[in-house]
Structure 1
Amino acid sequence: MKSGLLLAGLALLAAPAHAQLTSAERLMKATVEAEQQRTLGLLERMVNQNSGSQNPEGVEKVAEIVRGELEPLGFAVRWIPLRETGRAGHLVASRVGRAGTKKLLLIGHLDTVFEPDSPFQRWVREGDKGHGPGAADDKGGVAVMIAALRAMQAAGTLRNSNVTVFLTGDEEDPGTPQSLARRDLIAAGKAADVALDFEGLAQEDGRDMGSIARRSVNDWQLTIKANSAHSSGVFSAASGYGANYELARLVDAFRREVAEPSLTFNVGLIAGGTTARLGPGGIRAEVTGKTNIIAGEAVARGDLRALSQEQIDRAKARMQVLVAKPLAGVVSATLTFEDGYPPMAPTAGNRALLDRLNGINRDLGLPAMAALDPLKRGAGDISFVAADVDGLVGLGPSSSGDHTDQERVDIPSMSRQATRAAILMSRLGRERR
């Protein structure tokens, strides 16, 4: 009773400064601020439990922490085990609200890039920063999501909202086959009207930015077989140029002739010599060769990132055309692709969601958020539902040093983001489908 009176009092105090907010929205803002220490306590517990993508038991333990937060809010929580993909699985929580209103899909992830053998394992508070593995990516985002849902519960707006929370256990290192690892997320996207991604808030020059697009990730591999002979005959019609020259020629041709706006082409591994063999997972190579022998084998691996499927298709087609015209002495040149994360194109529906968020920024007295250049953001799970539902990325906190032992979450941004999310979800959730 006392905490309810305190929150009501805080909401009344906030009213003159934010006249465009409803009383429920003022209460949501006050709830987020009053519960900041609780939210940080939850984040600390999650960070201190290792949940590297390849640590299924750890991922499941973080899922249980989250379950304990969502079930008291009226969510029906289920665990989708996916050990057959080499990963733990996914947590899905649903809450049924008023019939005929928009269905919201909230996306985040339980895993981090830090496995149990990493020395980076614990949460440390450093003033307005929280230092720890996954403090931002994405345990900070999960903490913001829960803070927003708790605020909605306190204000009574969660009761009528149709919300599904989908937290993957393998966003940082997806399980295989991908068709199974993302089957349930794709199905959830098809059933939703809006998707909100709680990965980190992007900033430029200290300004919060909105994200309405994410690029794809497609891996490629180029394998060259060529005549191997004495180096004295290199460049001759009989011996040709060898595998290394052909590989170098093609990789540079890709750079010069495939690139276009919003598309990047990376070469992550190159190996070539008399023999060149890739190791398990394609992340290491064993090479033999001598300076006086024309290279007989070469291989390169990399990724391709694009903003639309049409752009991916154009790039693949152009690369294959280049590969089909080999140098003399090349026996075979084979280019293969492996699909990863699909693109999330900057659609009109996504832009409209950012406009809605900027309406909330105006009502909160915060600056408008411009759309982030998608070149400045990596791929993410929301891309798997982007073809079926409008979405917005970056509702988690701002941070620095993600994916390194310098990862730090900006604590003040957590309350700002939770307030934005709570109001956005409440406004969207009462709209008709």
Structure 2
Amino acid sequence: MKPLSPALILALGLTTIASYAQLTPLEKKIAANVDKHNTEAMALWKEVVNINSGTMNFEGVRKVANVFQAKLDALGLTTRWIDGAPFQRAGHLVAEHKGKAGKKTILLIGHLDTVFEPSSPFQEFKQLNDTTVSGPGVADMKGGDVIIIQALQALKDAGVLKDLNIIVYLCGDEENSGEPLALARRDLIEAARTADIALGFEDGDGRFETATIARRSSTDWQLTVKGVPAHSSQIFTDKIGAGAIYEASRIVYTFYETLSKEPNLTFNPGMILGGTDVKHTADQNLGTAFGKSNVVAQDATVTGDIRAMSPEQLKKAQETMQAIVAKHLPQTQATLVFGEGYPPLAPTPGNYTLLETFNKVSLDLNLGPVRAVNPRDAGAADISFTSGYVDMAMDGIKVRSAGGHTIHETADPRTLPLQTKRAAVLLHRIGK
């Protein structure tokens, strides 16, 4: 990679180690180590991105895990592989480091899989220029995984890793969760019960200047509606009523009319099927519908998701939606079922305190301030499963990126060592 120009250095706020006036000598040593090993970090980043690990490519997910497992073993962590067969996925990689008794336990969360299966045309890591690399999962989230490894390496080389209590949890099915979800996330929740602080290295809004202290929930729902089939000339009569499609339309529109102004609450109907004969294949998110314009619809199915900022907001919205469903149009019946989902990560006082600490680290490194991501600009992530178990949690310790989940996914390689320095110094400070 070419050296950065003075203009780029100024734009990103890079400075020499000597100018880190607010860092202790040990912290300066940690930061210097990151720069020393950045070529290795770039090589590791390229290596793992070039291994396809689409969620359903179990062999590929395991290969990526093997690469990181070797790195974590070399750092002195005790690693183990959790087989994903019980929840129909590849599995998860977990590593633990026991430091001094009485120190806080810090849980570091990443994931091994991407949305790009072997059938995708997007398969290769490419350096486009000094400021841009592209590749499947280059940001979401193999860049974050590399930050974890390199931050721990810097701490070990500085002689401070030995004192830290660390759990690294690299999930193998973040992009397409295994089922049942309770089993697929059981070990992550157990790790959260053990930990005091959780740090996630998943993308938030793609910006280097932000971190995530709140994520909304993500829960699927399915609306199933029944009507009375008949010749269309008989619709609206007392015997035939409104039909399934009218009832489905009423319900979905009333959801919108009643709840769309609620702050940070969204509910999206992603698919609707309706007609005389409806077949829905839920596990593949597809279906077929047959109907005629002169026949009153007998069935309708709508599927979607709901995202909320807190458990209380989610519960209230679900109750409101169920009440709307219960007010049936004539001669129709409907049921609304909510599935398993990702819980919300509420913006607790502890999370704000952690962000303030991270912001101070960034300022001391002369890398500029860090502000909280707007929860509407970030999706669900595994760190939400730590909610209620840890004292403080923060996500979004990642490379600058754009185009996530598309074949245009890119990242800024200049931010890899910068974010690694932030992470390493943060771990050193909160680990004390």
Bin of the TM-score, shorter chain as denominator length: over 0.9
* Partner-residue secondary structure (3-state), 2:329: coil
Does structure 1 residue 114 correspond to structure 2 residue 119?
A: no
User: Secondary structure of 2:414's match?
Assistant: helix
Give the stretch that moved more between structures: 387-396 or 347-356. 387-396
Aligned equivalents of 1:351, 1:428: Cα separation in 2: 14
Find the counterpart in structure 2 of residue 355 from structure 1: 356
**2:346: which partner in 1?**
345
Partner SS, residue 45 of structure 2? helix
Q: 1:346 & 1:266 partners in 2: Cα distance?
A: 23
Question: 1:258 Cα shift?
Answer: 2.5
Paired position in structure 1 for 2:399: 397
Shift of 1:32: 1.1
Tell me if the contact between 1:202 and 1:208 (Cα under 8 Å) persists in the aligned partners. no
| Kept after mapping to 2: 8 A contact 1:350/1:392 | yes
User: 1 CA distance for matches of 2:364 and 2:313?
Assistant: 38
Residues 204 and 377, structure 2, Cα contact 8 Å, conserved in 1: no
The reply to whether residue 384 of structure 1 matches residue 394 of structure 2 is no
Match of 2:81 in 1: 79
Among candidates 275, 290, 293, match of residue 291 of structure 1 = 293
SS class of match (1:394): coil
Contact 1:353–1:391 under 8 Å retained in 2 = yes
Distance, in Å, in 1 between the alignment partners of 2:349 and 2:151 is: 26
Mapping 1:153-232, distance limit 5 Å: 153-200=156-203, 202-203=205-206, 208-232=209-233
- 1:381 positional shift: 0.4
**Among 391, 400, 421, which residue is 1:419 paired with?**
421
Aligned to 2:323: 321
Alpha-carbon RMSD across the aligned residues, in angstroms, is 1.3
Q: Partners of 1:268 and 1:167 in 2: how far apart? A: 29
Amino acid across the alignment from 1:171 = E
Matching of residues 62-101 of structure 1 within 5 Å = 62-101=64-103
Distance of aligned partners of 1:282 and 1:45 in 2 relative to their CA distance in 1, 3 Å threshold? closer
What is the CA distance between 1:397 and its match in structure 2?
1.0
Secondary structure (helix, strand or coil) at the match of 2:293 reads: coil
Shift of residue 84 of structure 1?
2.4
Q: Which runs of 5+ in 2 are unaligned?
A: 1-14
One-letter identity of the residue aligned with 2:418: R
Is contact 1:201–1:397 with CA below 8 Å preserved after alignment?
no
Q: Distance in 2 between matches of 1:81 and 1:123?
A: 28
* Native 8 Å contact 1:130 1:408 kept in 2: yes
Q: Determine the structure 2 residue equivalent to 1:126.
A: 128
Corresponding letter in the other structure for 1:284: L
Q: CA deviation at 1:368?
A: 1.5
Task: Tell me the equivalent position of 1:409.
Answer: 411
Alpha-carbon distance change, 58 to 282 in structure 1, aligned in 2, over 3 angstroms: closer
Tell me if structure 1 keeps the 8 A contact 2:230–2:296.
Answer: yes
What residue number does 2:11 align with? none
1:188-223 CA-partner distances (Å, limit 9, x unpaired): 00000100001125356xx61121001111111111
CA deviation profile, 1:74-107 (whole Å, cap 9, x unmatched): 1111111112211111101111111100101000
Identical residues among aligned pairs (%): 45
* Contact kept in structure 1, 2:343 and 2:384, CA below 8 Å: yes
TM-score (norm 1): 0.94
Q: Distance in 2 between matches of 1:139 and 1:210?
A: 17
The one-letter amino acid paired with 1:316 is Q
User: Number of residue pairs matched?
Assistant: 415
Match of 2:140 among 131, 137, 151: 137
The runs of 5 or more residues in structure 1 that have no matched partner are: 1-12
Aligned counterpart in structure 1 of residue 151 of structure 2, from 132, 148, 156: 148
| Counterpart in the other structure of 1:5 | none
Deviation at 1:224, TM superposition (A): 0.6
Looking at structure 1, the residues matched to 341 and 206 of structure 2 have their Cα atoms a distance apart, in angstroms, of 26
Which residue is equivalent to 2:6?
none
CA-to-aligned-CA distance 1:36-79 (integer Å, 9 cap, x gap): 11101001110111111111111111111001111111111111
1-structure distance, mates of 2:239, 2:293: 19
Tell me the distance in 2 between the aligned counterparts of 1:364 and 1:116.
Answer: 40
Task: State the TM-score, normalizing by the size of structure 2.
Answer: 0.94
**Secondary structure, aligned partner of 2:34:** helix
- Residues 203 and 51 of structure 1: is their aligned pair in 2 closer, same or farther, counting only changes over 3 Å? closer
Deviations 1:258-302 (A, max 9, x none): 231110010000010112120241511211111111111111000
Alignment match, 1:103:
105
Q: Is the 8 A contact 1:24 1:156 kept in 2?
A: no
Between the aligned partners of 1:117 and 1:202, the Cα distance in structure 2 is 27
CA contact (8 A) 1:199 1:397 kept: no
Q: Is the 8 A contact 2:206 2:402 kept in 1?
A: no
What letter corresponds to residue 179 of structure 2 in structure 1?
T
Q: How far is the alpha carbon of 1:378 from its aligned partner?
A: 0.2
How far has the Cα of 1:16 moved from its partner? 4.2
